[in-house]
Amino acid sequence: MQKLRVCDARKQETVGQQACLQGWIRTRRDSKGGFSFLEVNDGSCLANIQIIADNSLSNYETEIKKLSAGCSVSLEGEIKESGGKGQTTEVLATSITVHGWADPEEFPLQKKRHSFEKLREWAHLRPRTNAFGAVARVRNSICRSIHDFFQEESFLYVHTPIITASDCEGAGEMFRVTTLDLETIAEKACQLDYSFDFFDRPSFLTVSGQLEAEIYATALGKVYTFGPTFRAENSNTSRHLAEFWMIEPEMAFYELPDNMDVAERFLKRIVTDALDRCSEDMEFFNLRVDDTILATLQSVLDNEFVRLPYTEAVEILEKSGVAFDFPVRWGIDLQSEHERFLTEQHFHAPVIVYDFPRSIKPFYMYVNDDGKTVRAMDVLAPNVGEIIGGSQREDRLDVLTSRMAEQDLNAEEYWWYIDLRRFGTVPHSGFGLGLERLVQFVTGMKNIRDVIPFPRTPGSADF
């Protein structure tokens, strides 16, 4: 018999078909007429399908009447038109096999609704809830759109290393990778000698694939990376993870405005696809998580992103009259509260802030003629704040090396990066988009720990 997923069995055109469905019980309701209604979910969509189990089934009294939330079943039957509200079809079961029981006294999801905080304790069970199922499907749709977008625009997908010796962002927030026996070294209080270490030098988990992506962009034109990145910043906030996924396009012969165009088109494409492919899940987020999310996303699609020089952003913040926790003056890095004020209160739209002070940005960003600012850009999105960070890259050899010296970087360690400016240098640009912040932006989920299956945060790396 043909196996159908619940999302397909719910379609009108399957009426009359014999099918096999497999999934987990959400609820059971016994009717006085000698039959039971089972709600079954298989994760293929938000909705359940209703199963009618008649007392003529051989295991009706022994098993079916004992089914409860979390039990797993295979069932066969005929798909019928349903008169019930919110469903077009239901299944009249001819057989139901129970694979696994879930003791209602012990199964944690027996209770209808738990807080997201509580559900974080059950990372192994939370994907069985409506909210986490919906997040997983939207996250999947976003990943598909990322590849679709770049492939359609003729970008090459390149893989950059996860283990590296260089700190791209220069922020010193890297996790060390070593095979040295730290316990013995500590016990014997001997000196660290990296010549005994696996890579012969201090090595780390990457914070960004950008520098390596630049190598491929300056050979192949347009490339993108999409992989895990790691930051050992000790920030316990609703938008920071120690392990997150980043998408990094890098384009030769692109200047900052071209970079902004790609970022805007890219974000709009992701939103369009999510609304289109995950409409049921998106309705759910609007109903249960953030009742403005659909309107916000529609307005993101309907309007152009604001493009705002940093200097003007600072003026707006200074004139706002708002008492920010971090006082604003020219030269500071924008904090989350400033970013959110600009995008949510002032412009009610995504904002691309650009031309930041050189003193707060990494060595690789192109220095403007004013000598004070660099061609950096941050895209700020409602509900999230900074979602993208990028720049035009410094392609002039002399400026790059003096910037490295300014930031106390050892040019010898970056000899290969400098070579790209010695041999056929070109203007080029790129950006990094944090996948989890993007999923937050699309779903309206408040905490970044709830949009990645297994969040890694300070003090927490269970499973």
Binding site for ligand 4AD (CB under 6 A): 168-169, 208, 210, 231, 233, 240-241, 244, 246, 248, 386-390, 430-434, 436-437
430 binds Mg ion (CB under 5 A): no
Q: Terminus-to-terminus CA distance in the chain, angstroms? A: 37
Do residues 389 and 247 touch, judged by C-beta distance below 8 A?
no
CB of 380 to Mg ion, least distance (A): 11
Q: Which residue is nearest to ligand 4AD (CB)?
A: 389
Angle value at C-alpha 115, between 113 and 120, nearest 5 degrees: 115
Which entry of ligand 4AD, Mg ion, none binds 437, CB below 5 to 8 A by partner kind? ligand 4AD
Report what 119 binds from Mg ion, ligand 4AD, none; CB cut-off 5-8 Å by kind.
none
Q: List residues bridging with 156 in a β-sheet.
A: 223
Angle at 166 between CA 397 and CA 436, to 5 degrees: 110
Q: What does the DSSP 8-state code read for residue 334?
A: P
- Tell me the two tokens of residue 280: 């049921």
Cα 135 from Cα 338, distance rounded (Å)? 28
Is residue 70 near Mg ion by the rule CB under 5 A?
no
Residue nearest to Mg ion (CB): 389
Query: Residue 223 binds which one of ligand 4AD, Mg ion, none, with CB within 5 to 8 A depending on kind?
Result: none
DSSP 8-state symbol, 393: B
Residue 362 binds Mg ion, judged by CB under 5 A: no
| By the rule CB under 5 A, 389 interacts with Mg ion | yes
Closest CB to Mg ion among residues 240, 269: 240
Interface with Mg ion, residue 434, by CB under 5 A:
no
Smallest distance, ligand 4AD to C-beta of residue 265, A = 17
**Which partner, Mg ion, ligand 4AD, none, binds residue 283 by CB below 5 to 8 Å per kind?**
none
Residue 293 or 376: which CB sits closer to Mg ion? 376
In the list ligand 4AD, Mg ion, none, the entry touching 427 (Cβ below 5 to 8 angstroms by class) is none
Q: How far is the CB of 384 from ligand 4AD (least distance, A)?
A: 8
241 binding partner (options Mg ion, ligand 4AD, none; Cβ < 5 to 8 Å by kind): ligand 4AD
Count of residues touching Mg ion (by CB under 5 A): 1
Q: Closer to ligand 4AD at the Cβ: 35 or 149?
A: 149
* Closest residue by Cα to residue 300 from 438, 436, 134: 438
Alpha carbon distances (Å) from 336 to 306, 343, 387, 423: 18, 11, 11, 40
How far apart CA 210 and CA 248 sit, in angstroms, is 7
Q: By C-beta, is 434 or 444 nearer to ligand 4AD?
A: 434
With contact defined as beta carbons under 8 Å apart, do 384 and 259 qualify? no
Token digits of residue 168: 């791209």
Nearer to Mg ion, 42 or 436 (CB): 436
Nearest approach, Cβ of 213 to ligand 4AD (angstroms)? 7
Nearest approach, Cβ of residue 390 and Mg ion (Å): 8
Q: Which is nearer to ligand 4AD, 104 or 453 (CB)?
A: 453
For residues 93 and 68, give the distance between their C-alpha atoms in angstroms, rounded to a whole number: 17
Q: Which is nearer to ligand 4AD, 355 or 386 (CB)?
A: 386
Is 444 a binding residue for Mg ion by CB under 5 A? The answer is no
Distances (CA, A) of 301 to 328, 347, 349, 352: 31, 15, 10, 15
Residue 338's contacts (CB-CB under 8 Å, 6 or more residues apart) are 313, 317, 324, 326, 328
CB of residue 331 to ligand 4AD, shortest distance in Å: 18
Q: What is the rounded (10 degree) CA torsion for 360, 362, 364, 369?
A: 10
HSE-CB for 138 with a 13 A CA cutoff: 35
Residue located via tokens 């790129």 = 430
382 binds Mg ion (CB under 5 A): no
Q: Extract the runs of DSSP E, i.e. beta strands, from 101-180.
A: 156-157, 163-164, 176-177
Nearer to ligand 4AD, 169 or 281 (CB): 169
Q: Which stretch binds Mg ion (CB under 5 A): 126-134, 142-150, 365-373, 381-389?
A: 381-389
Which tokens belong to 329?
Answer: 């003056």
**388 interface partner picked from ligand 4AD, Mg ion, none, CB below 5 to 8 A per type:** ligand 4AD
Residues 181-200 that bind Mg ion (CB under 5 A): none
- Complex with ligand 4AD: residue 256 or 387, whichever CB lies closer: 387
Q: Considering only the stretches 125-133, 174-182, 385-393, 406-414, report the one whose residues sit in contact with Mg ion under the rule CB under 5 A.
A: 385-393
Least distance (Å) between residue 333 CB and Mg ion: 9
Gap between the Cα atoms of 134 and 53, Å rounded:
28
d(CA 137, CA 278) in angstroms, rounded, equals 7
* Angle, helices 130-152/435-443, rounded to nearest 10 degrees: 120
- CB-nearer residue toward ligand 4AD: 79 or 387: 387
Q: Which is nearer to Mg ion, 46 or 267 (CB)?
A: 267
Which residues are near Mg ion by CB under 5 A?
389
